[in-house]
Amino acid sequence: MTTIQINDDLKIKLLRLASRLQMQLGRRVSIDEAIRYLLRETDKNEKLFLSFFGCLKGESREEIYDLLKDLRQEEEKRLEGFEKNTDL
């Protein structure tokens, strides 16, 4: 077993996650299990992300996030325009 150092705020978040997992599973859950759960979920989300944006395979993750951010900003501007038109 290896000891790692983490900040108190991260320790609290891990303990809260372990607590939620304990309630869901109905048994004790260690911090190790909570970390493994986070890693599994991260892996699942990354696979989902990559499959969803499979058409962007040649792009780096940063480029994809930037593209999504730009698209979101454009959408917000478009929605603001709709809100202004409905306030008349």
Domain ranges of the chain: 1-52, 56-88
Average per-residue pLDDT for the chain = 82
Q: Tens of pLDDT along 43-76?
A: 777 776 666 666 666 667 788 778 888 888 988 8
Residue type, 38: L
pTM: 0.52
Q: Is the pLDDT of residue 16 over 80?
A: yes
Residue 28 pLDDT > 60, yes or no?
yes
